[in-house]
Structures are given as C-alpha cells and as structure tokens.
Amino acid sequence: MYTHEDLARLQSQSLKMQSWIRQQTFSPENTKTLRRFSSWEVAELIFRINQSTFRGRLAAEPDLPGGEVEPDGRQRWFSLDEINALRRKMKINRKSLMPPRPAGKRAFRAAVANFKGGAGKSTVALHLAHAAALDGYRVLLVDFDPQATLSHSMGLTDVAEDYTVWGIMARDLIRETDRMNAATTGAASGTALPRRQIPASIRDLGLGELRHSDFIKPTAWSTIDIVPSCANAAFVEFASAQYRHLNPEWSFFAAVSRYLDGLGDDDYDLILFDCPPAIGYQSMNAVFAADMLYIPSGPGYWEYDSTTSFIGQLAEALEDLSGFGPTFPAGKVTLPKAFADIRFLMTRYEPGNDLHRAMFEAFRKVFGAHVAEHPIEMTRAVEQSGRFLSSVYEIDYREMTRETWRRARASFDRAYDEFKGSVIAAWDKI
Ligand SMILES: Nc1ncnc2c1ncn2[C@@H]1O[C@H](COP(=O)(O)OP(=O)(O)OP(=O)(O)O)[C@@H](O)[C@H]1O
Ligand SMILES: [Mg+2]
C-alpha cells in the first residue's frame, strides 16, 4: 500500500533528476542566455532585405551597431538589442523596419488554448513569442499552466506561487472585495450589497500589497517578459472555489483581465497566453482576458474530436458566465465575452501524409475561414528542442542540419506571418 508519503518520496527523487537535466540543458550557471544572430539571419530572415544591402548600410553608417565577429568566421553576429537598435535607426527605401502597431491602442492579447493535452499549445506560444520579438514587438507572456512548460522554456525554473496567476487572482479577490465593501459603505440606499469578509489567513499572505510589476519577470530575451507559473500554482484550482464562496459577487474570471488593464497601453505590443489542458479558473481567466483565441490542434482524427469538444465546453462555460451576478457592481467587465477573432491552427502536420491532408481539409470544411492557411509542420528541430527547452529561433543553425533548421523555421515563420495578419486585423476592433 502507498500513501502520500510514498508519493512525496518519489517526487523528491524526481526533483533531483530535474535539476540534473536542467544542468545539462542550460548554460553552466543554470541561467538561460540568448545567442547572437548572424548577418545572414538579420538581413534575410529578420529584416527581409538583401544581405548585400544590409552589409552596405553597415559599412556606410559607422554609427550603427556592428555586431561581433566570431573568431572562426567572416559573419557578424548581432544581439537582440543590437537588432532592435538597427531596426529603429535604419530605413530601407525610406521605409521604416518597425513592425506595425495601431496608434492609441493597448497591447493585443491572444490566448493559445485547447483543453486537449499535447496539442502543441506551449510550442506555438513559445514560437509566436520569439518570432514576434525578432519582428520588433515587445511581448508579455502569461503562463496559465502549472506544468509551467512555457516558464521553463523561457528559463524561469525557480518561481514562487505568489508571483503566478494564482497570486494575481488572490490579490484581485482582496482588492475587489475591498472595493465592493467601500461601495457598500458609501451607498446611501438600503439596496447595498452585504459586506464580505476575507479571512486573515488570506489577507496575511500579503498579496494585496504586491505591486503590479512584482508579477512580471524579465527573460533572456530583452523584449520578452513573463508572468510565470510553477507546480504550486495548481493550488489555484482548489483555492478559487473557496474564494468564490467568500465573495460570490467577485468576478473571479476577470481577475487577470483587470490585472492586464492596469498595464500602461504602451508597455507591450503583444500579450500571449499559454493555457493549461483543462477547463478551470486559470483557463477561464485566460480566455476571458483574450482578444483573440488561437486554437492549435494536432492532425489526428481523435484530436479533431477533442478540439470539437473543447469549443463545446468553452461555449457552455462562457454562456454560464454571461449571466454572472445581477448584483455585480459595474466595472470594466463586459458580458457576454466577445472575441475579435477565433482561429484554428493545425500543428505537427506532415504535408506528405494523406490522413493529415484529409484532416486539414475537414477542418477547413467545418471551420471555414477560421482555419489558419499555414499549418505548423512536424519537425525534428522542435522534437529536439523539447529536450533542450528551446525554440527553433534560439537554436543556432550551425548545431543541426541546415536544411532541417531552415524548413522548421520557414514553417514557424509562415505561421507567425499569418498570426500577425490576424492580430493586426483584429487590433482595430478592440
Ligand atoms: N511542430 C512540431 N513538431 C514536432 N514536435 C512537436 C511540434 N509541436 C509540438 N511538438 C511536440 O509535441 C509535444 C507536445 O507539445 P506542447 O508541449 O507544445 O503541447 P501542449 O498543448 O502545450 O501540451 P500540454 O497540454 O501538456 O500543455 C512536445 O513534446 C513537443 O515537443
Ligand atoms: Mg503546454
């Protein structure tokens, strides 16, 4: 017979292995660093200009950052900060290299969501974030999944649950309850709400005192920040049920949305959510805060089945929310939840596989124009990177077969270009 003590023992063994794997996969001091990008990559893949045009400009304008020359080669290698400086300073045929962003709008929020496990959510979120950062956007990631795949991939392995979505929700409960109680006290009429008490056990955690920026961590990518997650944040699913009971008027599903509303409009361009493979308090917060849903799905028949049930469950959950609390005090929350766009993206697609092609056609027949035209292809580059916790953008092309790397990168680039098009079209609607 086995008890929780046996489980705890197994877990401690596993933790030892985990830190060994991390030592093997991250640089010696156990922190992730971002590589430099070659002048070939910067010109042709990032700025999408001719290499000789790029080299000519660097030679003609000594004020531009020149990168570093590696001992073994002729190429120059640029850091992300240097690439961004080049992007700001250089114009090609009088055209700016800065990515488009509508004036006067807050950052656009996209949720990568599917309740199906292993659909490719974290891989898609990671690659879209890296592609967007290389495209010049400032990105905030929010990891809603206590599996914390995305946080680990971004190099954050030592996260306290206070600084996760769980912390944001607990802080929101305290603040919203205080706000409602103050409104009750202030109201002259007898129709006011009952006062709600938050027990000392929650208040004394001190989460109400956390500042906005306390939840946001920098990463090895200077233009990508993250609200990370950790295994202990799984607790949110238990805690939230209790929290709702403490204050039934609390719009628990809008906690993260309210948190993000508190950011400056210009702090970021793009906010990307990685969701857990389950319906729950965290995934509902992600969906509710999102302007656009991006739904990855594998190419198998059973994956089509689970994607279908995902949208069914989501529809039901959102319908439930739409009737939330008649006594709910007016805030920034608008119901029912409306998305500026909903997109489906096939992942792990093999163009030579008849079943995959048939499933892609089926997706298109059913979901029509909502289906992204460019599926993400199955690639060894990503399988390998799963072990190394890196995106194809982070992997130095000299470390693998150039053709494998280029094909993988081209597939993610096409998916990103299409994603960007959807974002820009949807941005105007918010
Ligand atoms: N395009 C791809 N080519 C090859 N392997 C892939 C690809 N996309 C994802 N994978 C692999 O599939 C597995 C699941 O991917 P991922 O972790 O992104 O899914 P997920 O939906 O986030 O999973 P979970 O539901 O557990 O959060 C990983 O091992 C990943 O490396
Ligand atoms: Mg995941």
pLDDT at 186 over 70: no
Proximal ligand: closest to the CA of 150: 2
Could you identify the atom of ligand 1 that is nearest to the CA of residue 377?
1
| Chain segment 13-35, per-residue pLDDT in tens | 887 777 777 666 655 456 788 99
Give the pLDDT confidence score for residue 323 in this predicted structure.
80
List, for residues 61-100, the tens digit of each pLDDT value: 999 999 999 877 778 999 999 999 999 999 998 999 999 9
Residue nearest to atom 5 of ligand 1 (CA): 383
Q: How far is the CA of 96 from the centre of ligand 2 (A)?
A: 36
- Entry pTM: 0.92
Average pLDDT, stretch 110-133? 96
d(CA 183, CA 83): 50
- Pairwise CA distance, residues 349 & 351, whole Å: 6
Q: Which helix (H) or strand (E) holds 346?
A: strand 341-346
331-386 pLDDT, tens digit each: 678 889 999 999 999 999 999 999 999 999 999 999 999 999 999 999 988 876 65
CB 144 within 8 A of CB 284: no
pLDDT over 70, % of the chain: 92
| Measured distance CA(153)–CA(149) in Å, rounded | 6
pLDDT classification of 194: cutoffs 50, 70, 90: confident
Which atom of ligand 1 is closest in space to residue 380's alpha carbon?
A: 4
Q: Which ligand number lies closest to the CA of residue 115? A: 1
Give percent above pLDDT 90 in the chain: 69
Confidence of residue 41 (pLDDT cuts 50, 70, 90): very high
Confidence of residue 185 (pLDDT cuts 50, 70, 90): low
Cβ neighbours of residue 222 closer than 8 Å, sequence gap 6 or more: 80, 81, 84
Burial (Cβ within 10 Å: 0-12, 13-18, ≥19) of residue 25: middle
How high is the pLDDT of residue 76? 93
What's the confidence (pLDDT) of residue 385? 61
Q: What is the pLDDT of residues 217-234, one digit of tens each?
A: 999 999 999 999 998 888
| C-alpha 359 – ligand 1 centre gap (Å) | 18
Q: Which two tokens stand for residue 43?
A: 């010109």
Report residue 140's pLDDT band, with 50, 70 and 90 as the boundaries: very high
pLDDT for 13 equals: 84
Distance CA 158, CA 178 (A): 32
> What's the whole-number mean pLDDT along residues 288-315?
95
In contact, 405 and 392? CB cutoff 8 Å: yes
Mean pLDDT value across residues 293-306: 94
User: How do residues 281-296 score in pLDDT, each as one tens digit?
Assistant: 999 999 999 999 999 9
Give the residue, 199 or 129, on which the prediction is more confident: 129
Question: What tens digit of pLDDT does each residue of 202-212 get?
Answer: 888 888 889 99
Rounded Cα–Cα distance for residues 134 and 390 (Å):
15
- Higher pLDDT: 24 or 255? It is 255
- For residue 258, the model assigns a pLDDT of 95
CB 150 within 8 A of CB 127: no
Average pLDDT, the chain: 90
pLDDT at 391 over 60: yes
Q: Which ligand is nearest to the CA of 386?
A: 1
Task: Find out whether the beta carbon of 118 lies less than 6 Å from any atom of ligand 1.
Answer: yes
Given this model, what pLDDT does residue 189 score? 52
Residue among 368, 378, 393 at smallest CA distance from 134 = 393
Cα-to-centroid distance, 90 and ligand 1 (Å): 37
Q: What is the pLDDT of residue 24?
A: 65
Quote the ligand 1 centre to 299 CA distance (angstroms).
12
Report the residue among 123, 229, 374, 387 best suited for mutation to probe ligand 1: largest number of ligand atoms under 8 A from its CB: 123
Q: What is the pLDDT of residue 313?
A: 94
Q: Please indicate whether residue 346, judged by its CB atom, sits closer than 6 Å to ligand 1.
A: no
The closest ligand to the CA of 392 turns out to be: 1
